[in-house]
Structure 1
Amino acid sequence: MTDNTTNKQVWLITGAGRGLGLDIAQAALAAGHAVVATGRNPQKVAEAIGQHDDLLTVKLDVTKPEDAQAAIQATVERFGHLDVLVNNAGNFYAGFFEELSPEQVRAQVEVLLFGPMNVTRAALPQMRKQRSGLVMSISSTAGLTGIVFCSAYSAAKFGLEGWMESLNLEVAQFGIKTMLVEPGFFRTELLTDDSTIYAEPQIDDYAETTRKTVTEWKGMDGQQTGDPAKLAHALVQLAALPQPPLRFAAGVDAVATFEDRGNALLEQANAYRELSSSLALD
Protein backbone atom coordinates (compact mmCIF):
# COMPACT_ATOMS: atom_id res chain seq x y z
CA MET A 1 0.00 0.00 0.00
CA THR A 2 1.32 3.44 -0.86
CA ASP A 3 1.96 5.77 2.06
CA ASN A 4 2.40 9.27 0.70
CA THR A 5 1.65 10.99 4.02
CA THR A 6 4.37 9.46 6.15
CA ASN A 7 6.88 11.79 7.81
CA LYS A 8 9.32 8.97 8.42
CA GLN A 9 12.73 9.12 6.82
CA VAL A 10 12.83 6.47 4.12
CA TRP A 11 16.10 4.57 3.69
CA LEU A 12 17.06 2.30 0.81
CA ILE A 13 20.02 0.08 1.66
CA THR A 14 21.84 -2.18 -0.77
CA GLY A 15 23.39 -5.41 0.45
CA ALA A 16 21.15 -5.34 3.52
CA GLY A 17 20.98 -9.08 4.19
CA ARG A 18 24.23 -9.40 6.14
CA GLY A 19 27.27 -7.56 7.41
CA LEU A 20 27.20 -3.78 7.76
CA GLY A 21 24.13 -3.45 5.55
CA LEU A 22 22.11 -5.53 7.99
CA ASP A 23 23.33 -3.43 10.92
CA ILE A 24 22.41 -0.20 9.12
CA ALA A 25 18.93 -1.51 8.33
CA GLN A 26 18.35 -2.51 11.96
CA ALA A 27 19.69 0.82 13.25
CA ALA A 28 17.47 2.84 10.90
CA LEU A 29 14.40 0.84 11.90
CA ALA A 30 15.25 1.22 15.60
CA ALA A 31 15.46 5.00 15.08
CA GLY A 32 11.90 4.99 13.75
CA HIS A 33 12.64 5.20 10.05
CA ALA A 34 11.22 3.15 7.19
CA VAL A 35 13.66 0.85 5.42
CA VAL A 36 13.75 -0.65 1.95
CA ALA A 37 16.24 -3.47 2.43
CA THR A 38 17.61 -4.91 -0.78
CA GLY A 39 19.73 -7.83 -1.85
CA ARG A 40 20.04 -10.47 -4.51
CA ASN A 41 17.86 -12.78 -2.39
CA PRO A 42 15.10 -10.68 -0.74
CA GLN A 43 13.81 -13.68 1.21
CA LYS A 44 17.18 -14.02 2.98
CA VAL A 45 17.19 -10.28 3.61
CA ALA A 46 13.75 -10.47 5.22
CA GLU A 47 14.76 -13.44 7.36
CA ALA A 48 17.90 -11.67 8.54
CA ILE A 49 16.12 -8.47 9.57
CA GLY A 50 12.87 -9.94 10.87
CA GLN A 51 9.31 -8.67 10.75
CA HIS A 52 8.69 -4.93 10.89
CA ASP A 53 5.78 -2.75 9.76
CA ASP A 54 8.11 -0.21 8.18
CA LEU A 55 10.25 -2.72 6.29
CA LEU A 56 10.07 -3.51 2.59
CA THR A 57 12.44 -6.07 1.09
CA VAL A 58 13.21 -5.86 -2.62
CA LYS A 59 15.39 -7.85 -4.99
CA LEU A 60 18.32 -5.79 -6.19
CA ASP A 61 21.48 -6.87 -7.93
CA VAL A 62 23.38 -3.59 -8.12
CA THR A 63 25.07 -4.60 -11.37
CA LYS A 64 21.65 -4.61 -13.10
CA PRO A 65 20.25 -1.14 -13.86
CA GLU A 66 16.77 -2.58 -14.35
CA ASP A 67 16.83 -3.94 -10.79
CA ALA A 68 17.80 -0.50 -9.51
CA GLN A 69 14.95 1.18 -11.37
CA ALA A 70 12.46 -1.37 -10.04
CA ALA A 71 13.72 -0.94 -6.47
CA ILE A 72 13.29 2.84 -6.57
CA GLN A 73 9.83 2.46 -8.07
CA ALA A 74 8.83 0.01 -5.32
CA THR A 75 10.17 2.41 -2.69
CA VAL A 76 8.13 5.35 -3.95
CA GLU A 77 5.00 3.23 -4.41
CA ARG A 78 5.19 1.99 -0.82
CA PHE A 79 6.45 5.04 1.07
CA GLY A 80 5.97 7.98 -1.29
CA HIS A 81 9.52 9.32 -1.15
CA LEU A 82 13.19 8.40 -0.65
CA ASP A 83 15.38 10.25 1.81
CA VAL A 84 18.57 8.22 2.26
CA LEU A 85 20.22 5.90 -0.24
CA VAL A 86 22.99 3.75 1.22
CA ASN A 87 25.31 2.23 -1.38
CA ASN A 88 26.67 -0.62 0.73
CA ALA A 89 26.65 -3.81 -1.35
CA GLY A 90 30.11 -5.10 -2.08
CA ASN A 91 32.61 -7.91 -2.37
CA PHE A 92 36.39 -8.22 -2.36
CA TYR A 93 38.77 -9.59 -4.98
CA ALA A 94 42.08 -9.91 -3.12
CA GLY A 95 45.46 -10.59 -4.63
CA PHE A 96 48.42 -9.15 -6.44
CA PHE A 97 47.52 -7.27 -9.61
CA GLU A 98 49.50 -9.63 -11.87
CA GLU A 99 47.60 -12.62 -10.51
CA LEU A 100 44.13 -11.11 -10.66
CA SER A 101 42.55 -11.88 -14.02
CA PRO A 102 41.17 -9.04 -16.16
CA GLU A 103 37.72 -10.54 -15.58
CA GLN A 104 38.17 -10.39 -11.81
CA VAL A 105 39.33 -6.77 -11.90
CA ARG A 106 36.36 -5.81 -14.07
CA ALA A 107 33.99 -7.71 -11.78
CA GLN A 108 35.37 -5.81 -8.78
CA VAL A 109 34.84 -2.44 -10.41
CA GLU A 110 31.42 -3.53 -11.65
CA VAL A 111 30.16 -4.14 -8.12
CA LEU A 112 31.97 -1.44 -6.13
CA LEU A 113 31.80 1.46 -8.61
CA PHE A 114 29.26 0.84 -11.35
CA GLY A 115 26.88 -0.77 -8.85
CA PRO A 116 26.51 2.40 -6.76
CA MET A 117 26.31 4.41 -9.97
CA ASN A 118 23.43 2.25 -11.21
CA VAL A 119 21.41 2.65 -8.02
CA THR A 120 22.17 6.34 -7.61
CA ARG A 121 21.26 7.06 -11.23
CA ALA A 122 17.88 5.45 -10.58
CA ALA A 123 17.38 7.38 -7.32
CA LEU A 124 18.37 10.88 -8.42
CA PRO A 125 15.23 11.74 -10.42
CA GLN A 126 13.10 11.15 -7.30
CA MET A 127 15.48 13.13 -5.10
CA ARG A 128 15.56 16.00 -7.60
CA LYS A 129 11.79 16.01 -7.66
CA GLN A 130 11.75 16.24 -3.88
CA ARG A 131 14.62 18.75 -3.84
CA SER A 132 16.09 16.69 -1.00
CA GLY A 133 17.89 13.46 -0.22
CA LEU A 134 21.19 11.98 0.90
CA VAL A 135 23.37 9.62 -1.13
CA MET A 136 25.64 7.73 1.28
CA SER A 137 28.30 5.43 -0.14
CA ILE A 138 30.33 3.01 1.93
CA SER A 139 33.89 3.36 0.75
CA SER A 140 37.01 2.26 2.63
CA THR A 141 40.35 3.55 3.84
CA ALA A 142 41.55 1.57 0.80
CA GLY A 143 39.86 4.33 -1.21
CA LEU A 144 42.26 6.85 0.28
CA THR A 145 45.55 4.97 0.20
CA GLY A 146 46.85 1.99 -1.71
CA ILE A 147 47.23 -1.32 0.13
CA VAL A 148 49.23 -4.39 -0.85
CA PHE A 149 46.96 -7.20 -2.13
CA CYS A 150 44.15 -4.68 -2.71
CA SER A 151 44.94 -3.26 -6.15
CA ALA A 152 41.54 -4.07 -7.68
CA TYR A 153 39.63 -3.17 -4.53
CA SER A 154 41.47 0.13 -4.12
CA ALA A 155 41.01 0.95 -7.81
CA ALA A 156 37.25 0.60 -7.41
CA LYS A 157 37.12 2.50 -4.12
CA PHE A 158 39.34 5.32 -5.42
CA GLY A 159 36.91 5.56 -8.33
CA LEU A 160 33.97 5.67 -5.93
CA GLU A 161 35.61 8.52 -4.05
CA GLY A 162 36.20 10.62 -7.15
CA TRP A 163 32.73 10.00 -8.50
CA MET A 164 31.05 10.91 -5.21
CA GLU A 165 33.09 14.10 -4.81
CA SER A 166 32.10 15.20 -8.30
CA LEU A 167 28.48 14.12 -7.84
CA ASN A 168 28.22 16.30 -4.75
CA LEU A 169 29.14 19.35 -6.81
CA GLU A 170 26.50 18.48 -9.40
CA VAL A 171 23.50 17.75 -7.18
CA ALA A 172 23.93 20.16 -4.27
CA GLN A 173 21.91 22.73 -6.25
CA PHE A 174 18.88 20.45 -5.88
CA GLY A 175 19.16 20.07 -2.12
CA ILE A 176 20.74 16.62 -2.48
CA LYS A 177 23.64 15.81 -0.17
CA THR A 178 26.32 13.15 -0.41
CA MET A 179 28.44 11.39 2.18
CA LEU A 180 31.40 9.05 1.85
CA VAL A 181 32.07 6.62 4.69
CA GLU A 182 35.61 5.28 5.04
CA PRO A 183 35.66 2.42 7.56
CA GLY A 184 38.87 0.93 8.84
CA PHE A 185 38.77 -2.66 10.10
CA PHE A 186 35.29 -3.59 11.33
CA ARG A 187 33.96 -6.99 12.27
CA THR A 188 31.77 -7.26 9.18
CA GLU A 189 31.62 -10.19 6.77
CA LEU A 190 33.97 -8.72 4.16
CA LEU A 191 36.74 -11.26 4.86
CA THR A 192 34.44 -14.29 4.91
CA ASP A 193 34.51 -16.86 2.12
CA ASP A 194 31.14 -15.53 0.94
CA SER A 195 32.58 -12.07 0.29
CA THR A 196 36.29 -12.49 -0.49
CA ILE A 197 37.67 -14.09 -3.65
CA TYR A 198 41.42 -14.68 -3.64
CA ALA A 199 43.45 -14.61 -6.84
CA GLU A 200 44.79 -17.99 -7.91
CA PRO A 201 48.55 -18.09 -7.10
CA GLN A 202 50.51 -18.40 -10.33
CA ILE A 203 53.76 -16.47 -9.96
CA ASP A 204 56.56 -17.78 -7.79
CA ASP A 205 57.84 -14.30 -6.94
CA TYR A 206 54.58 -13.57 -5.10
CA ALA A 207 53.97 -17.04 -3.64
CA GLU A 208 55.40 -16.60 -0.14
CA THR A 209 53.84 -13.19 0.45
CA THR A 210 50.53 -14.50 -0.88
CA ARG A 211 50.58 -17.43 1.51
CA LYS A 212 51.37 -15.22 4.50
CA THR A 213 48.80 -12.58 3.57
CA VAL A 214 45.95 -15.04 3.00
CA THR A 215 46.73 -16.80 6.28
CA GLU A 216 46.86 -13.50 8.14
CA TRP A 217 43.63 -12.18 6.65
CA LYS A 218 41.70 -15.38 7.27
CA GLY A 219 42.90 -15.27 10.85
CA MET A 220 41.75 -11.65 11.11
CA ASP A 221 38.17 -12.52 10.11
CA GLY A 222 35.98 -12.14 13.18
CA GLN A 223 38.78 -10.47 15.16
CA GLN A 224 38.52 -6.92 13.80
CA THR A 225 38.21 -4.31 16.55
CA GLY A 226 35.53 -2.12 14.96
CA ASP A 227 31.90 -2.67 16.02
CA PRO A 228 29.63 -2.50 12.93
CA ALA A 229 26.53 -1.97 15.09
CA LYS A 230 28.09 1.18 16.58
CA LEU A 231 29.06 2.35 13.09
CA ALA A 232 25.51 1.81 11.88
CA HIS A 233 24.07 3.90 14.72
CA ALA A 234 26.64 6.63 14.01
CA LEU A 235 25.57 6.73 10.36
CA VAL A 236 21.92 7.11 11.34
CA GLN A 237 22.91 10.05 13.55
CA LEU A 238 24.98 11.67 10.81
CA ALA A 239 22.22 11.25 8.23
CA ALA A 240 19.89 13.27 10.46
CA LEU A 241 22.19 16.31 10.50
CA PRO A 242 21.22 19.36 8.43
CA GLN A 243 24.62 19.03 6.72
CA PRO A 244 26.13 15.54 6.93
CA PRO A 245 29.90 15.38 6.46
CA LEU A 246 31.22 14.90 2.96
CA ARG A 247 33.56 12.27 4.42
CA PHE A 248 33.37 10.32 7.66
CA ALA A 249 36.41 8.53 9.06
CA ALA A 250 34.96 5.41 10.69
CA GLY A 251 37.23 4.10 13.41
CA VAL A 252 40.45 5.14 15.12
CA ASP A 253 42.45 3.46 12.36
CA ALA A 254 40.52 5.41 9.74
CA VAL A 255 41.29 8.71 11.49
CA ALA A 256 44.98 7.78 11.43
CA THR A 257 44.75 6.97 7.72
CA PHE A 258 43.16 10.37 7.03
CA GLU A 259 45.96 12.10 8.91
CA ASP A 260 48.70 10.08 7.23
CA ARG A 261 47.23 10.67 3.79
CA GLY A 262 46.89 14.40 4.37
CA ASN A 263 50.45 14.69 5.64
CA ALA A 264 51.80 12.60 2.76
CA LEU A 265 50.09 14.84 0.18
CA LEU A 266 51.50 17.96 1.80
CA GLU A 267 54.96 16.42 1.84
CA GLN A 268 54.68 15.46 -1.83
CA ALA A 269 53.40 18.92 -2.76
CA ASN A 270 56.37 20.55 -1.06
CA ALA A 271 59.05 18.09 -2.22
CA TYR A 272 59.38 19.63 -5.68
CA ARG A 273 57.46 22.86 -5.15
CA GLU A 274 59.98 24.97 -7.08
CA LEU A 275 59.98 22.64 -10.09
CA SER A 276 56.20 22.21 -9.97
CA SER A 277 55.76 25.97 -9.92
CA SER A 278 58.06 26.63 -12.88
CA LEU A 279 56.02 25.01 -15.61
CA ALA A 280 53.97 27.95 -16.90
CA LEU A 281 54.44 29.22 -20.44
CA ASP A 282 56.95 32.07 -20.64
Structure 2
Amino acid sequence: MKVGYLGPKNSFTFQAANELFEENNLVSFASIPLTIEHLENKSIDLAVVPIENSLEGSVHATVDYLFGQTAITVQEEIILPIRQQLLGLEEVKQPQKILSHPQALAQTKQYLKTYYPEVSLEAVSSTTFAAQYVATHPENKLLAIASEKAAREYNLKVVASDIQDNAANQTRFWVLALDKNRQITRNTQDKKVTLFITLPANLPGALHQVLSAFAWRKIDLAKIESRPLKTNLGEYFFVIDVVLKENEILIENAVKEIELLQAKVQRVGTYSINRFT
Protein backbone atom coordinates (compact mmCIF):
# COMPACT_ATOMS: atom_id res chain seq x y z
CA MET A 1 0.00 0.00 0.00
CA LYS A 2 1.28 3.45 -0.95
CA VAL A 3 0.28 6.49 1.08
CA GLY A 4 1.02 9.90 -0.42
CA TYR A 5 1.56 12.93 1.79
CA LEU A 6 2.51 16.59 1.57
CA GLY A 7 6.27 16.41 2.00
CA PRO A 8 9.10 16.45 2.36
CA LYS A 9 10.08 13.88 4.97
CA ASN A 10 9.80 15.15 8.58
CA SER A 11 7.15 17.70 7.61
CA PHE A 12 4.20 17.80 10.00
CA THR A 13 2.09 15.99 7.40
CA PHE A 14 4.74 13.26 7.30
CA GLN A 15 4.55 13.00 11.09
CA ALA A 16 0.75 12.77 10.96
CA ALA A 17 0.84 10.07 8.26
CA ASN A 18 3.52 8.16 10.14
CA GLU A 19 1.23 7.93 13.19
CA LEU A 20 -1.10 5.63 11.21
CA PHE A 21 1.08 4.14 8.48
CA GLU A 22 4.52 2.55 8.25
CA GLU A 23 7.24 4.90 7.00
CA ASN A 24 8.23 2.58 4.16
CA ASN A 25 4.69 2.97 2.73
CA LEU A 26 4.87 6.77 2.61
CA VAL A 27 5.46 8.71 -0.61
CA SER A 28 6.30 12.42 -0.55
CA PHE A 29 4.79 15.03 -2.90
CA ALA A 30 5.60 18.72 -3.26
CA SER A 31 2.08 20.16 -3.01
CA ILE A 32 -1.46 19.36 -1.90
CA PRO A 33 -2.90 19.34 -5.45
CA LEU A 34 -0.11 17.06 -6.65
CA THR A 35 -0.73 14.64 -3.78
CA ILE A 36 -4.45 14.40 -4.54
CA GLU A 37 -3.81 14.15 -8.30
CA HIS A 38 -1.70 11.04 -7.72
CA LEU A 39 -4.57 9.59 -5.69
CA GLU A 40 -6.96 10.29 -8.58
CA ASN A 41 -4.51 8.65 -10.99
CA LYS A 42 -4.31 5.61 -8.68
CA SER A 43 -0.53 5.76 -8.38
CA ILE A 44 -1.10 5.83 -4.59
CA ASP A 45 -3.79 4.16 -2.48
CA LEU A 46 -4.34 6.88 0.12
CA ALA A 47 -3.39 10.55 0.54
CA VAL A 48 -2.73 12.49 3.75
CA VAL A 49 -3.18 16.27 3.52
CA PRO A 50 -3.68 19.08 6.04
CA ILE A 51 -7.19 20.49 6.33
CA GLU A 52 -7.15 22.98 9.22
CA ASN A 53 -4.85 24.58 11.78
CA SER A 54 -6.22 25.83 15.09
CA LEU A 55 -4.39 29.17 14.72
CA GLU A 56 -4.41 29.83 10.98
CA GLY A 57 -7.72 28.24 10.00
CA SER A 58 -8.61 26.06 7.02
CA VAL A 59 -6.13 24.94 4.41
CA HIS A 60 -7.92 26.31 1.38
CA ALA A 61 -5.89 24.32 -1.15
CA THR A 62 -7.36 21.11 0.27
CA VAL A 63 -10.95 22.35 0.61
CA ASP A 64 -11.08 23.91 -2.84
CA TYR A 65 -9.55 20.88 -4.58
CA LEU A 66 -12.04 18.48 -2.99
CA PHE A 67 -15.06 20.64 -3.81
CA GLY A 68 -16.82 18.87 -6.66
CA GLN A 69 -14.49 15.84 -6.56
CA THR A 70 -17.18 13.32 -5.70
CA ALA A 71 -14.96 10.25 -6.25
CA ILE A 72 -12.70 11.16 -3.31
CA THR A 73 -13.82 10.61 0.26
CA VAL A 74 -12.35 11.33 3.67
CA GLN A 75 -11.62 8.05 5.45
CA GLU A 76 -10.02 9.26 8.66
CA GLU A 77 -8.90 12.40 10.45
CA ILE A 78 -5.62 12.86 12.32
CA ILE A 79 -5.26 15.62 14.92
CA LEU A 80 -1.64 16.38 15.70
CA PRO A 81 -0.19 18.95 18.13
CA ILE A 82 2.13 21.35 16.30
CA ARG A 83 5.23 22.32 18.25
CA GLN A 84 7.60 24.68 16.49
CA GLN A 85 11.31 24.80 17.34
CA LEU A 86 13.90 27.43 16.49
CA LEU A 87 16.84 25.59 14.95
CA GLY A 88 20.40 26.47 14.02
CA LEU A 89 23.89 25.06 13.61
CA GLU A 90 24.70 27.08 16.68
CA GLU A 91 23.08 29.70 18.86
CA VAL A 92 23.17 32.82 16.69
CA LYS A 93 22.50 36.05 18.56
CA GLN A 94 22.05 38.15 15.43
CA PRO A 95 20.95 35.90 12.56
CA GLN A 96 20.81 37.32 9.08
CA LYS A 97 17.56 35.56 8.34
CA ILE A 98 14.98 33.13 9.77
CA LEU A 99 13.46 30.67 7.32
CA SER A 100 10.30 28.60 7.51
CA HIS A 101 6.98 27.73 5.88
CA PRO A 102 4.47 30.67 5.85
CA GLN A 103 2.15 28.93 8.32
CA ALA A 104 5.00 28.27 10.76
CA LEU A 105 6.04 31.91 10.55
CA ALA A 106 2.44 32.95 11.22
CA GLN A 107 2.16 30.53 14.16
CA THR A 108 5.26 32.03 15.81
CA LYS A 109 4.85 35.70 14.91
CA GLN A 110 4.56 36.91 18.53
CA TYR A 111 7.73 35.08 19.52
CA LEU A 112 9.58 36.46 16.50
CA LYS A 113 8.31 39.97 17.16
CA THR A 114 9.52 39.78 20.77
CA TYR A 115 12.96 38.22 20.28
CA TYR A 116 13.90 38.91 16.64
CA PRO A 117 12.07 42.11 15.67
CA GLU A 118 14.77 43.29 13.27
CA VAL A 119 15.55 39.97 11.61
CA SER A 120 14.38 39.31 8.06
CA LEU A 121 11.92 36.43 7.68
CA GLU A 122 11.87 34.28 4.55
CA ALA A 123 9.00 32.01 3.59
CA VAL A 124 10.04 28.73 1.97
CA SER A 125 8.22 25.65 0.70
CA SER A 126 8.29 23.69 3.97
CA THR A 127 9.68 23.70 7.49
CA THR A 128 11.85 20.72 6.55
CA PHE A 129 13.35 22.59 3.61
CA ALA A 130 14.16 25.46 5.98
CA ALA A 131 16.02 23.11 8.33
CA GLN A 132 17.86 21.46 5.45
CA TYR A 133 18.89 24.82 4.01
CA VAL A 134 20.28 26.04 7.32
CA ALA A 135 22.21 22.78 7.75
CA THR A 136 23.77 23.01 4.29
CA HIS A 137 24.70 26.69 4.45
CA PRO A 138 26.98 26.93 7.49
CA GLU A 139 28.68 30.00 6.06
CA ASN A 140 25.52 32.05 6.66
CA LYS A 141 24.05 33.09 9.99
CA LEU A 142 20.66 31.47 9.54
CA LEU A 143 17.97 29.99 11.74
CA ALA A 144 14.99 27.82 10.83
CA ILE A 145 11.61 27.16 12.38
CA ALA A 146 10.83 23.44 12.11
CA SER A 147 10.13 20.30 14.12
CA GLU A 148 12.28 18.39 16.57
CA LYS A 149 12.43 15.54 14.04
CA ALA A 150 13.89 17.91 11.46
CA ALA A 151 16.50 19.00 14.00
CA ARG A 152 17.58 15.39 14.52
CA GLU A 153 17.54 14.64 10.79
CA TYR A 154 19.88 17.54 9.94
CA ASN A 155 21.95 17.64 13.16
CA LEU A 156 20.73 21.09 14.14
CA LYS A 157 20.66 22.54 17.62
CA VAL A 158 17.33 23.51 19.17
CA VAL A 159 17.98 27.16 19.97
CA ALA A 160 14.50 27.68 21.49
CA SER A 161 11.78 25.10 22.17
CA ASP A 162 8.03 25.28 21.58
CA ILE A 163 7.99 28.82 20.23
CA GLN A 164 4.44 28.64 18.80
CA ASP A 165 2.27 31.49 20.08
CA ASN A 166 -0.41 29.12 21.39
CA ALA A 167 0.40 25.99 23.38
CA ALA A 168 -2.80 24.41 22.04
CA ASN A 169 -1.64 24.72 18.43
CA GLN A 170 -3.01 21.72 16.50
CA THR A 171 -3.53 20.73 12.89
CA ARG A 172 -6.17 18.45 11.41
CA PHE A 173 -5.17 16.14 8.58
CA TRP A 174 -7.43 14.09 6.34
CA VAL A 175 -6.74 10.61 5.02
CA LEU A 176 -8.30 10.51 1.53
CA ALA A 177 -9.26 7.53 -0.61
CA LEU A 178 -10.95 6.87 -3.95
CA ASP A 179 -12.84 3.80 -2.76
CA LYS A 180 -16.13 4.95 -1.20
CA ASN A 181 -16.72 1.47 0.20
CA ARG A 182 -13.43 1.37 2.08
CA GLN A 183 -14.03 0.65 5.75
CA ILE A 184 -12.83 2.93 8.53
CA THR A 185 -9.77 1.18 9.87
CA ARG A 186 -9.90 2.39 13.48
CA ASN A 187 -12.95 2.39 15.69
CA THR A 188 -12.30 5.59 17.64
CA GLN A 189 -14.86 7.18 19.91
CA ASP A 190 -15.08 10.46 17.99
CA LYS A 191 -16.51 10.53 14.46
CA LYS A 192 -17.70 13.21 12.08
CA VAL A 193 -19.46 13.75 8.79
CA THR A 194 -18.30 16.55 6.48
CA LEU A 195 -20.66 18.10 3.94
CA PHE A 196 -20.11 20.72 1.23
CA ILE A 197 -23.40 22.58 0.71
CA THR A 198 -24.16 24.94 -2.17
CA LEU A 199 -27.26 27.08 -1.66
CA PRO A 200 -29.83 27.73 -4.40
CA ALA A 201 -29.20 31.09 -6.06
CA ASN A 202 -31.12 34.19 -4.97
CA LEU A 203 -33.17 32.49 -2.28
CA PRO A 204 -33.47 34.74 0.80
CA GLY A 205 -33.05 32.89 4.08
CA ALA A 206 -31.60 29.78 2.44
CA LEU A 207 -28.69 29.46 4.87
CA HIS A 208 -31.04 29.88 7.82
CA GLN A 209 -33.25 27.09 6.45
CA VAL A 210 -30.24 24.80 5.98
CA LEU A 211 -29.02 25.33 9.52
CA SER A 212 -32.55 24.91 10.86
CA ALA A 213 -32.63 21.38 9.39
CA PHE A 214 -29.85 20.51 11.83
CA ALA A 215 -30.98 22.73 14.70
CA TRP A 216 -34.52 21.43 15.27
CA ARG A 217 -33.15 17.86 15.21
CA LYS A 218 -30.58 18.88 17.85
CA ILE A 219 -27.68 17.78 15.62
CA ASP A 220 -24.36 19.16 16.83
CA LEU A 221 -22.30 21.03 14.21
CA ALA A 222 -18.55 21.15 14.87
CA LYS A 223 -17.85 23.70 12.14
CA ILE A 224 -19.43 25.89 9.48
CA GLU A 225 -17.34 27.90 7.05
CA SER A 226 -17.94 29.62 3.72
CA ARG A 227 -15.70 29.38 0.65
CA PRO A 228 -16.11 31.32 -2.60
CA LEU A 229 -17.57 29.36 -5.50
CA LYS A 230 -15.15 31.21 -7.81
CA THR A 231 -18.00 32.07 -10.13
CA ASN A 232 -19.46 35.46 -9.25
CA LEU A 233 -18.60 37.75 -6.38
CA GLY A 234 -20.72 36.96 -3.34
CA GLU A 235 -21.43 33.33 -4.26
CA TYR A 236 -20.24 30.68 -1.78
CA PHE A 237 -20.42 27.06 -0.78
CA PHE A 238 -20.38 26.03 2.88
CA VAL A 239 -18.23 23.48 4.68
CA ILE A 240 -20.17 21.86 7.53
CA ASP A 241 -18.73 19.33 9.98
CA VAL A 242 -21.42 17.31 11.76
CA VAL A 243 -20.72 15.42 14.99
CA LEU A 244 -21.61 11.76 14.45
CA LYS A 245 -23.01 9.98 17.49
CA GLU A 246 -26.20 7.92 17.61
CA ASN A 247 -27.77 10.25 15.04
CA GLU A 248 -27.05 8.73 11.61
CA ILE A 249 -30.75 8.63 10.66
CA LEU A 250 -31.30 12.19 11.88
CA ILE A 251 -28.35 13.41 9.80
CA GLU A 252 -29.63 11.59 6.71
CA ASN A 253 -33.08 13.11 7.18
CA ALA A 254 -31.55 16.57 7.59
CA VAL A 255 -29.64 16.12 4.32
CA LYS A 256 -32.85 15.07 2.53
CA GLU A 257 -34.63 18.17 3.88
CA ILE A 258 -31.77 20.39 2.68
CA GLU A 259 -31.88 18.81 -0.78
CA LEU A 260 -35.63 19.47 -0.92
CA LEU A 261 -34.72 23.14 -0.50
CA GLN A 262 -32.90 22.80 -3.86
CA ALA A 263 -29.49 23.02 -2.18
CA LYS A 264 -26.71 20.79 -3.49
CA VAL A 265 -25.11 18.51 -0.88
CA GLN A 266 -21.72 16.85 -1.42
CA ARG A 267 -20.92 14.19 1.16
CA VAL A 268 -17.17 14.50 1.64
CA GLY A 269 -16.85 11.66 4.12
CA THR A 270 -17.88 9.90 7.30
CA TYR A 271 -14.74 9.26 9.30
CA SER A 272 -13.11 8.49 12.63
CA ILE A 273 -10.96 11.03 14.48
CA ASN A 274 -7.51 9.99 15.70
CA ARG A 275 -6.00 12.31 18.32
CA PHE A 276 -2.29 12.24 19.15
CA THR A 277 -0.34 14.02 21.87
User: TM (normalized to structure 2)?
Assistant: 0.30
Which one has a larger percent helix, Structure 1 or Structure 2? 1
Which one has a larger percent strand, Structure 1 or Structure 2? 2
Which one has the largest radius of gyration?
2
User: TM (normalized to structure 1)?
Assistant: 0.29
Q: Whose relative contact order is higher, 1 or 2, with alpha carbons under 8 Å and at least 6 apart?
A: 2
